Amino acid sequence: MSRTSLIGFVLGTLVLSLSACVQVSGPASQEVSQPVRTVQTLSDGWKFQFANLNNPPLEDNLDTHDWETVSVPHTWNRVGYYTNDLVPHINTADNVDKRMGQGWYSLEFTGPDGTEPVRHWLEFDAVSRTAEVWLNGHRLGEHRGPFTRFRFDVTDYIKLGETNRLVVMADNSKPEPGSPTADVLPIAGDFFVHGGIYRPVRLVSTNDVHIALNDHGGPGVYASTTELREEAADVSVRTLVSNDENEARPISLRVSLIDADGNTVATQLLDPSLLDAHQTAEFATVLTVPTPRLWQGTADPYLYTLRAEVTDPAGRQLDLLDQPFGIRQITIDPEMGLFLNGKQTPLHGVAYHQDREGKGWAVSLEDVAGDLDIMKEMGTNTIRLAHYPHGQPIHNLADKNGIILWDEIPLVSLWDFGADETETNLALKANAKLQLQELIHQNFNHPSVAVWGIANEVDFGSLLPAFIGDKSGRIPDPMPLLRDLAEIAAEEDPFRDSVLANCCDAVETMSDDKTPPVANVTDAYGVNRYYGWYYGDASQFGSQLDTLHAMRPDKPLSISEYGAGGAISLQTDDPTGGPPDSRGHNQPEGYFNLIHEKAWADISARPYIWASWVWNGFDFATTIRKEGDARDINTKGLVTYDRQVKKDAYYFYKANWSGTPTVYLVGRRYGDRAYAVTDVKVYSNAPETKLIVNGVSMGPADSCIQSVCIWPQVRLAAGDNTLVAKGHFKDEEVSDEVTWSLAANLETSYNIDAGTLLAAHDDEKTFGSDTFFDGGTAESADEAGTWGKPAVTPDITGARNRLLDATYRSGDFTYELPLPQGKYKVTLIFMEPDLAPDERTFDVISNGQPVLRNFDIASAAGGPLREVQRTFSASVEDGPLSLQFQPVTGDAIVSAIMVSPE
């Protein structure tokens, strides 16, 4: 069925249609003095205890006198901490709290005074993972899902004008067969599921006749822009109205759109209609808006007010609901990308997790607004709300700021426990469908929401990583569930595309014939790709995108994740000097920068990419990582978990995306330098950018491709060095300044730890990481650990520094060391990793003069994994000191180079 036919089908099958519709314009009708809907926020005075309570929480047997007093939003968890001391940290190894289980909450509050409104609902924006709720000893029910809003009608149980006791049991137990959360997604994922009532709670009071509050936590009014013409726009509106009285009631319904100045630009009125007792009926109408002002993303995020008003035949207002609404249409083309209201709109932004240091998931509106400000400053125009439904604050802020959103459910990597049709597995699939319905209903009216995401990385197939937890050996098939979810998305909202994010499609090191083609299921899709990090080389990213585009030329392709880990306290002299450890310590910020520079060059050159999202906007909590300078934190964020540090790459994107004059000196946290000569990099979008070092101009950069300006081989002096970058814009000059220090003994010395991004610490000398090389590859005698597998670090006999010896450069390569004229002592450190005598020989040539011939490390050292050193003198007269390593048999290698004046 075509999209146009589907729209007609949906509108044609609505329960009731409006008649006698009138289009009017002018001032909006005035509010009645007596509110027909009231909201009481229940935030303070809660009592909390983390415990498994044996007795049901009846009114007369729950003693909370020794419970902790808390405010909602609240979580009992505190997860993830940094090991660096660059800034003060909230989380530490001593105060983290990763408990999973039952958290009990109790609140005493005074009920409404008994005047109208007369119907009362408890509304929870989210409780994780599951919630069971009692009011005055009566069990109201439960909700199974950590991210979405739910409500209970408490009219029959609330005490009007008296003290009420509300009890909530939140359970974030680890999902596994037999656990109380076994049937609730997510059951896997690289993020921590915090427990608690971590979003707001309210008491909502209405009349007995009201706009429905029992529709999957949704507002009860749902609008879509169904047609845009040059002179007008059509907005289709569905309204659910409930009658909770014991007899039928005649009602009228008026639906209107009101502009930002308070003028009603379109309205339609239903003649009185009889609504049966205890019935919820659906009404449909189309509002035609003349010369509409469109919601045009960040360029003009214009919002109307969508108003639904229910009255009785006498005109007395029974319910009124206002919601922001933007008139807009989004289409996604497989060749030219996303179009917003017919205008091509390339999307670039970040993925976003909802936690932050010290608060976990219990963040405030101000926290979310601060996060959005940080992302906006960078030039973000889209956010992927990963990997679960996020709250209303980020949606409302995205509406107001023109940020386009990808929403998704928490179907992450796994959707069952290893057997095909157990009761738990069937319940998990049902839970996925329920969470999708809740996601769509609760966020339907947000113009910022572009697509509905139904899954993330469910295509591992037989390559499922060990950390995810399915060790059954079974290869699960996600396709039946995905087809069901895509069908639900199309039925619930025919005006938005369904999407998913895959991990493995056509990835050379991962894809095989058992990797399911999940991208075929949805209208469009995204790919999570980590070339240069978990696999492959960063240079392969562009060709991977072209391969995927050629595989499905009619399917719109986006990049739902890309990036690397970046530790702000770990710095490298050359990001190409060695391999990172994607699951371990060696994750310097400089390599993080390089991955983003290369990735954005590939993305921006391909107009068929309809959107791209950096993984991630902010560092976030997980419990499967011990990497870089953090524990239980995924450090792929452009900003730290505490929001205190914007990493270098943040400014790379700001220079490329924002249009704001930006000049930023890269490597500012590498203050104590290992080498006297270094390249200086500046992210600048200025027409001309100059560098000044210690008051001396280095001149303008030759070119600044992708806003990356580089001054090669800048010499530093002993002591503190002041570097100033100045960008000359049309109406202003923008500058940035850093101070780098160099120890006096390093001004004419080089101590190079070959084959590594991070130099080994040495008690006697300051070593820098591998740089000044041409050719060869970086290798190590150590085998890096993976999830569930420790690193293998063999002993090296005679090593003055085992870490220094373990890494090495291999192949046919040369070092060019920029030294002033003079005589120098050169010491080379070697270690044979695995070959026997006579299996590896090579020459070492210093400035054209052979200093080692047919050198055989294994023979000289007496076997592999033994250190051996060789020292010689070298003279520098005109140009650098050149050290050539030329293979004779096998590859040449060197572990470290030490050069100092004689």
Digit-coded pLDDT (tens) for 263-281: 999 999 987 889 999 999 9
**Pair of tokens at residue 751:** 């101590």
Q: What's the rounded Cα separation, in Å, for the pair 359 and 214?
A: 31
Q: What's the rounded Cα separation, in Å, for the pair 341 and 233?
A: 11
Beta bridge partners of 884: 814, 845
pLDDT greater than 70 at residue 751: yes
> Which residues are CB-contacts of 543 (< 8 A; sequence separation ≥ 6)?
none
Output the pLDDT for position 722: 98
What values do phi and psi take at 437, rounded to 5? -60, -45
pLDDT greater than 60 at residue 5: no
Q: What's the rounded Cα separation, in Å, for the pair 684 and 666?
A: 10
Please write the tens of the pLDDT for every residue from 72-100: 999 999 999 999 999 999 999 999 999 99
Output the pLDDT for position 461: 66
Output the pLDDT for position 34: 55
Q: Cβ distance 127 to 67 under 8 Å?
A: no
Q: What's the rounded Cα separation, in Å, for the pair 901 and 893?
A: 24
Q: Which residue has the higher pLDDT, 86 or 461?
A: 86
What confidence category does residue 128 fall into, taking pLDDT thresholds of 50, 70 and 90?
A: very high
- Tokens 């069952």, residue? 416
Output the pLDDT for position 464: 60
- Give the residue-averaged pLDDT of 202-221: 97
> Which residues are CB-contacts of 216 (< 8 A; sequence separation ≥ 6)?
148, 434, 437, 438, 441, 442
Q: What's the rounded Cα separation, in Å, for the pair 782 and 792?
A: 6
Output the pLDDT for position 11: 34
The sign of the torsion formed by the CA atoms of 520, 526, 532, 538 equals positive
DSSP H or E segment with residue 230: none
- Give the residue-averaged pLDDT of 308-314: 94
What values do phi and psi take at 601, rounded to 5? -60, -40
- Tokens 């909230």, residue? 90
- Give the residue-averaged pLDDT of 716-744: 96
DSSP H or E segment with residue 669: none
pLDDT greater than 50 at residue 425: yes
Nearest residue to 557 (alpha-carbon basis) of 571, 572, 547: 547
Beta bridge partners of 893: 810
DSSP H or E segment with residue 432: helix 423-443
What confidence category does residue 2 fall into, taking pLDDT thresholds of 50, 70 and 90?
A: very low
Q: What's the rounded Cα separation, in Å, for the pair 511 and 503?
A: 9
> What is the CB neighbour count within 10 angstroms for residue 705?
11
- Tokens 């983390």, residue? 50
Output the pLDDT for position 714: 97
Q: What's the rounded Cα separation, in Å, for the pair 677 and 245?
A: 82
Average pLDDT value over all residues in the chain: 92
Which of 27-36, 317-326, 713-722, 864-873 is the least confident region? 27-36
Output the pLDDT for position 624: 82
Beta bridge partners of 263: 27
> Which residues are CB-contacts of 579 (< 8 A; sequence separation ≥ 6)?
586, 757, 778, 780
Which of 283-297, 330-344, 452-466, 857-871 is the least confident region? 452-466
- Tokens 């990036």, residue? 563
- Give the residue-averaged pLDDT of 622-648: 95
> Which residues are CB-contacts of 446 (< 8 A; sequence separation ≥ 6)?
395, 396, 398, 399, 405
- Give the residue-averaged pLDDT of 11-23: 34
HEC profile of 510-577? CCCCCCCCHHHCCCCEEEECCECCCECCHHHHHHHHHHHHHHCCCCCEEEEECCCCCECCCCCCCCCC
In the chain, % of residues over pLDDT 70: 93
pLDDT greater than 60 at residue 656: yes
HEC profile of 435-447? HHHHHHHHHCCCC
Output the pLDDT for position 230: 87
> What is the CB neighbour count within 10 angstroms for residue 174?
13
Q: What's the rounded Cα separation, in Å, for the pair 350 and 339?
A: 19
- Give the residue-averaged pLDDT of 131-151: 97
The sign of the torsion formed by the CA atoms of 700, 702, 704, 710 equals negative
Output the pLDDT for position 719: 97
Which of 155-169, 304-318, 466-480, 528-542 is the least confident region? 466-480
Output the pLDDT for position 3: 40
What confidence category does residue 470 fall into, taking pLDDT thresholds of 50, 70 and 90?
A: low
**Pair of tokens at residue 388:** 């679960």
Q: Which amino acid is at 439?
A: L
Please write the tens of the pLDDT for every residue from 839-861: 999 999 999 999 999 999 999 99
Output the pLDDT for position 23: 37
Nearest residue to 527 (alpha-carbon basis) of 466, 455, 469, 468: 455
Q: Cβ distance 420 to 195 under 8 Å?
A: no
Return the CA Rg of the chain.
32
Nearest residue to 369 (alpha-carbon basis) of 388, 389, 393: 393
What values do phi and psi take at 439, rounded to 5? -55, -45
Output the pLDDT for position 512: 65
What confidence category does residue 426 fall into, taking pLDDT thresholds of 50, 70 and 90?
A: very high
pLDDT greater than 90 at residue 395: yes
Q: Which residue has the higher pLDDT, 27 or 523?
A: 523
- Give the residue-averaged pLDDT of 424-428: 94
- Tokens 């936690």, residue? 355
Q: What's the rounded Cα separation, in Å, for the pair 508 and 237?
A: 47
Q: Where are the beta strands (DSSP E) in 154-228?
A: 163-171, 201-206, 209-211, 221-228
Please write the tens of the pLDDT for every residue from 533-584: 999 999 999 999 999 999 999 999 999 999 999 999 999 999 999 999 998 9
Crossing angle of the two packed helices 479-492 and 423-443, in degrees rounded to 10: 30
What confidence category does residue 60 fall into, taking pLDDT thresholds of 50, 70 and 90?
A: low
pLDDT greater than 60 at residue 435: yes
DSSP H or E segment with residue 274: strand 273-275
Q: Which residue has the higher pLDDT, 516 or 300?
A: 300
**Pair of tokens at residue 183:** 């049937």
What values do phi and psi take at 590, rounded to 5? -65, -40
Q: Whole-model pTM above 0.75?
A: yes
DSSP symbols for 669-706:
T--EES-SEEEEEEEE-SSEEEEEETTEEEEE-S-EET
Output the pLDDT for position 702: 87
DSSP symbols for 724-760:
EEEEE-SS-EEEEEEEEEE-GGGTT-EEEETT-SSPP
Which region, left, alpha or beta, applies to residue 645 given φ > 0 means left and ψ of -120 to 50 means alpha? Answer: beta
Output the pLDDT for position 100: 97
Q: What's the rounded Cα separation, in Å, for the pair 393 and 365?
A: 6
pLDDT greater than 50 at residue 117: yes
pLDDT greater than 90 at residue 474: no
Q: Cβ distance 327 to 287 under 8 Å?
A: no
**Pair of tokens at residue 885:** 């390593």
Angstrom CA distances, 838 to 387, 678, 780, 865, 873, stand at 55, 38, 21, 15, 27
Q: What's the rounded Cα separation, in Å, for the pair 769 and 675?
A: 10
Helix (H, G, I), strand (E, B) or coil at 603: helix
- Tokens 């030039």, residue? 379
Q: Cβ distance 288 to 232 under 8 Å?
A: yes
Output the pLDDT for position 25: 34
Output the pLDDT for position 552: 96
